[in-house]
Amino acid sequence: MAKFENAHDIKVIVATDCGSTTTKAILIEFVNGEYRLMSRGEAPTTVEAPFEDVTMGVLNAVGELEELSGRKLLDEDGKFISPANGKNGTDVYISTSSAGGGLQMMVAGVVRSMTAESAERAALGAGAIVMDVIASNDKRLPHQQIERIRQLRPDMLLLSGGIDGGTTTHVVELAELISAADPRPRLGSSYQLPIIYAGNKDAAKLVSDVLADKVDLRTVDNLRPVLELENLAPAREEIHELFMEHVMAQAPGYKKLMSWADAPIMPTPGAVGLIIQTIADQYGIEAVGVDIGGATTDVFSVFRPDGTNGEFNRTVSANLGMSYSISNVFAEATLPMVMRWVPFEMDERDLRNRVKNKMIRPTTIPQSMEELIFEQAIAKEALRLAFVQHKSFATVLKGVQQQRTIADAFEQSSSGATIVNMMTLDMLIGSGGVLSHAPRRQQSALMMMDAFMPEGITRLAVDSIFMMPQLGVLTEVQPKAATEVFEKDCLIHLGTCIAPAGQAKKAGPVMKYTIEMPDGPVSGTLDYLELKLFKLGVQDNGLPIKVKATFEPERGFDIGGGKGNAVTREIYGGVVGIVLDGRGRPFDLSSLDEKERVSYLRKWMTEMDIYPKEAMA
């Protein structure tokens, strides 16, 4: 493959994502001064028998790209033509992978809420599925911990514990437990299990004495060198290194795939995190991304608790999803929470059977409108629960001593408080079948609003074809191409939600608004429990139309400038438009009786044209 010293010389890019079932390929070209998505292709992934060679699926997906684009990408031997020359070849080929179950890790640390949690953050951020977190104080007896390590067969283990210069005993004790368990890697028995040690540097030699003979031990800088600081990058880099070296190398065909690629192959969720971080940093915004699948839901976020530096977090809710895990969503959320989003009555026994039948036959789709409404109600709860988990994980560092003033004492904030702030959140991006393929885009917008309950002014978007993984790895090679394609081709801009935070005891106005629409200003008053939609679309290039707007919340309501303070700023349109959400925050329907609840649901759905009128009768 061609190597480019200057990223600007890269004009043609092919990127693939090898998922568990489908390999997706995209072709990006530099045309008329900008990078744009030219075509996309997909083919079944070929990691499992009878093929057992991932590159076959890649070649099939790239073959589809060739047919659709007319660009010849492969030579007679099935190798990429590089560099690009006219209508032939590509300058760069890159890939991500989650085939074969992705990257499965176990992490261990001394204190559950401190070093173990930092280790978990490092593993999740690198794109791993964390199978279990072992900590000296996790309330399990040592023999139970050993039993657990023995049962699980992770791809690798991350061990941390202690600040530099602190006590060494606890982390060495953990190393002894791991040694006694004699853990085996998931794939292949021909190599030793990789263990990354990222704990107290003074214990590195002692840990090595205990473990070096039994496992493939790598030592990196402490991920919590002092209590006040997390240093996750060295551990994450080592995870990626080992992912390539061990996990990928064991999967059939990956050695060949790695030799084709111009950048290291990245775990799919790690790449999604990277594009969200890149976009958030480029515009200095706070962003949340969510990917809801059949079995799991991933949430990514970048928040800036100190106002400048972006802090990235990723969580995987392993048993919240829309098919394999749908029954678990139902069990965790409970029936009344799901049914609060459904504007008609359904029989509980029948519903329970329907949910279980979806679980055992996960590929079925809603045929009737009633089924769609019910499925979207479950999706709202799955997203809500995944976000609750994310909020409790994305926190300021725990265990850090804080200096308090008198004012802080009244706020009752503590170490370990969440950094997720819905009022300062700028952008919410959804992806996954139920959001990306909803029959009406308004449905995606309302699902995200009902699940995440954004406050203040928040842009909403969905990933049209789940291109985020490929664009994530592209940021490592040509960041400009990644961000341009992300905004213009990957995202479907839905619009902006404007939701004053606060609650009212009775009906009445919550906010006055003036929006400078292209065909003249629109002004009015938003009432409590009211939703209003204003159409404001997108430009020809796919980017949203921007307009100026002023919002004047009532006393007790906040739109971002403090309670009762007006805010004037530019807001973005989209395929749905501008949604004014007067339902209050925190959102609480419990004061309404059953008849009122159904009546309001119907009003909101009608205003946003969510479902056909007859479906809500």
Binding site for other proteins (CB under 8 A): 20, 101, 142-143, 146-147, 168-169, 172-173, 176-177, 179-181, 206, 209-210, 295, 319, 324-325, 327-328, 330-332, 348-350, 352-372, 437, 439-440, 612
CA dihedral 592, 593, 597, 598 (to 10 degrees): -170
| Residue 103 vs 261, nearer CB to other proteins | 103
**Radius of gyration for the chain, computed over Cα atoms and rounded to the nearest angstrom:** 25
Q: Which residue, 145 or 483, has its beta carbon nearer to other proteins?
A: 145
Q: Distances from the Cα of 382 to the Cαs of 20, 350, 583, in angstroms?
A: 22, 20, 21
Specify the residue, 45 or 277, whose C-beta has the smaller distance to other proteins.
45
Tell me the closest approach of the beta carbon of residue 18 to other proteins, in angstroms.
Answer: 14
CB of 361 to other proteins, least distance (A): 5
DSSP state of 588: -
**Closest separation between CB of residue 371 and other proteins, Å?**
6
When the beta carbons of 366 and 524 are compared against other proteins, the nearer one is 366
The alpha carbon torsion through 596, 322, 441, 593 (nearest 10 deg) reads 0
- Give the number of C-alpha atoms closer than 13 A to the C-alpha of residue 588, restricted to the C-beta side: 9
Look at residues 511, 484, 550, 483 and name the one whose alpha carbon lies nearest to residue 275.
483
Phi and psi at residue 409, to the nearest 5°: -60, -35
Quote the least distance from Cβ 325 to other proteins, whole Å: 5
* CB nearer other proteins, residue 124 or residue 373: 373
The torsion region of residue 153 among left (phi > 0), alpha (psi -120 to 50) and beta comes to: beta
Between helix 233-242 and helix 115-125 the angle, nearest 10°, is 50
Helix (H, G, I), strand (E, B) or coil at 206: helix
For 175-260, strand residue ranges (E) read 194-197, 216-219
Token pair in block for residue 240: 């990626």
Q: Taking the complex as a whole, how short is the minimal distance between the CB of residue 47 and other proteins, in angstroms? A: 10
Q: In the complex with other proteins, which residue's Cβ is closer, 148 or 603?
A: 148
Closest approach of Cβ 421 to other proteins, in Å?
31
Structure tokens that stand for 57 in this block: 């699926």
Shortest Å, Cβ 296 to other proteins: 10
Query: Which residue's CB is nearer to other proteins, number 177 or number 428?
Result: 177
> CB 598 → other proteins: shortest distance, Å?
20
Which of 440, 603 has the CB closer to other proteins? 440
Residues whose CB is less than 8 angstroms from the CB of residue 321 and which lie 6 or more positions away in sequence, other chains included: 292, 293, 294, 295, 296, 297, 328, 329, 382
